[in-house]
Amino acid sequence: MTGVLPAEALSERATVDGSRVARPGHGARPRVLFVSHTGTMSGAELVLRDAVRPWPGSTAFLFEDGAFTDVLRGLGLEIRLARRGTGLSGLRRDASPLRALPMLGRLGGLALELARAARACDVVYANSQKAFLLAAIPARIVGRPIIWHLHDILDGAHFGWAQRTLQARLANLCAARVIVPSQAAADAFWQAGGRPSLVTLVPNGLDLDRDPRTPEALRAELGLPAGPLIGVFSRLAPWKGQDVVIEALARLPDVRCIVVGAPLFGEDAYAAHLRDLAAARGVADRVLFLGQRGDVPRLMQAVDAVVHPSIDPEPFGRTLVEAMLAGVPVVATDAGASAEILDGGAAGTLVPPRQPDRLAAALAELLAKPGAVAARTRLARDRALSRYGAARMQRDLATLINHVAARA
């Protein structure tokens, strides 16, 4: 593991709203083109939503329309939508690059649109690997620096060899900077062949208000049952590991679980599998599938423990920080960034991934003696407040964008 450059090392002069540091000779803050491949909002888009708040008047280029479009418009961004879409959202991220061949015509058209949009801006900011893959060369052709906000772990669990190599090589060739949310994501980028000096670590940041009501009052309002209750709060996808929680529940006879989230990117078969699994293990009456919700922080405050069961390395995991801010004990799998966020286990319990027995044992212990982890949960909240706030993230990203623009 090697240390990555923190954002504040880039420039002392940047401000959150980008107003003090300008491109040499321009006297104005840079015009940024934020590129998103999707209009659906999962963690990376929620990060971008908060990141663009200081940049009203900038442009957002989306490959497809969706709820995210209105959110960005509401934040004062000018919206540009790809004219013909790409079909990329249906392409699994670990698919062979050859699977994109039939889309070449549309992708070429998109590259031209991106080049035109990039020319009207000072900096291009790609918020996903698909956005970077498509925008990197157009941005370089029109001479604009491109920043890649890499929200993924470029390892064999998530991507095929060809994908990893292509992405790392393209970054080395085209990216002015690569932003990662965790050391785990930085390590994977380097191991895939990415140049270490390109990387800046900007941990995700978020702000949440705590509901002053007790968990009992919240449960009554939300219609949730009394008694031991745990929660999982992630989109439904095989690597998010909700099935492991259902398996663990079969070993915890009195415990109920809320499963919050939906299959956002076509994982409907997995969603159906979860229900079948709950029935097969005889726990269907103890698992409540609540679907996609807009009140995750409140739901978190209502449960006795939040489980973060990802079976593959998690690039960051906003839900971990949300649980810490909610003041609820966390049990997370030790894969990817969880250990960094939970301070090696001092701010939450770490269990090995894919092991329902170990997960069940950790939950049983925690639910039996809630007082035993009260101090740890307070520490977790303090840690989240001091390290993972939205203002710090916005400041770090503004520093970085201004730095890249100033050097261009």
Residues of this chain that interact with ligand GLC (CB under 6 A) are 42-44, 47, 151, 181, 204, 314-318
- Contact status: 383 vs ligand UDP (CB under 6 A): no
Query: Distances from the Cα of 211 to the Cαs of 124, 294, 327, 330, in angstroms?
Result: 38, 14, 11, 18
Q: Does 231 bind ligand UDP (CB under 6 A)?
A: no
Is residue 319 close enough to count as binding ligand UDP by CB under 6 A?
A: yes
Residues 6+ positions from 208 with CB-CB distance below 8 Å: 297, 322, 325, 326
* Residue 292 binding result from ligand GLC, ligand UDP, none, given CB thresholds of 5 to 8 Å by partner type: ligand UDP
Task: Give the interface segment with ligand UDP, choosing from 41-49, 73-81, 100-108, 142-150 (CB under 6 A).
Answer: 41-49
Q: Is 301 in the site for ligand UDP (CB under 6 A)?
A: no
Which of 112, 207, 292, 370 binds ligand UDP (CB under 6 A)? It is: 292
User: Least separation, in Å, of the C-beta of 47 and ligand UDP?
Assistant: 8
Instruction: Choose from ligand UDP, ligand GLC, none: what does 129 bind? Cβ within 5-8 Å by kind.
Output: none
181 binding partner (options ligand GLC, ligand UDP, none; Cβ < 5 to 8 Å by kind): ligand GLC
Query: Is the CB of 50 or the CB of 113 nearer to ligand GLC?
Result: 50
Rule CB under 6 A: say whether 200 interacts with ligand UDP: no
Minimum CB–partner distance for residue 244 and ligand GLC (Å): 17
Which CB atom, from 187 or from 322, has the smaller least distance to ligand UDP? Answer: 322
Q: Which is nearer to ligand UDP, 79 or 390 (CB)?
A: 390
Task: Verify binding: residue 194, ligand UDP, rule CB under 6 A.
Answer: no
The closest residue (CB) to ligand GLC is: 43
Task: Write down the residue that tokens 């004219």 correspond to.
Answer: 83
Q: Name the residue with the smallest CB distance to ligand UDP.
A: 43
Stretch that binds ligand UDP, among 26-34, 39-47, 195-203, 217-225 (CB under 6 A): 39-47
Contacting range for ligand UDP; rule: CB under 6 A; set: 115-123, 233-241, 360-368, 395-403: 233-241
| Least separation in angstroms between CB 316 and ligand UDP | 6
Partner whose footprint covers residue 132, from ligand GLC, ligand UDP, none (CB < 5 to 8 Å by kind): none
* C-alpha to C-alpha distances, 187 to 317, 337, 352, nearest whole angstrom: 17, 11, 20
Torsion angle defined by CA atoms of residues 117, 120, 126 and 127, in that order, rounded to the nearest 10 degrees: -90
Q: How far is the CB of 44 from ligand GLC (least distance, A)?
A: 4
Q: Which is nearer to ligand UDP, 261 or 353 (CB)?
A: 261
Cβ 143 to ligand GLC shortest distance, Å: 29
Q: Is 159 in the site for ligand UDP (CB under 6 A)?
A: no
Binding site for ligand UDP (CB under 6 A): 42-44, 46, 233-235, 260-261, 292-293, 296, 316-319, 322
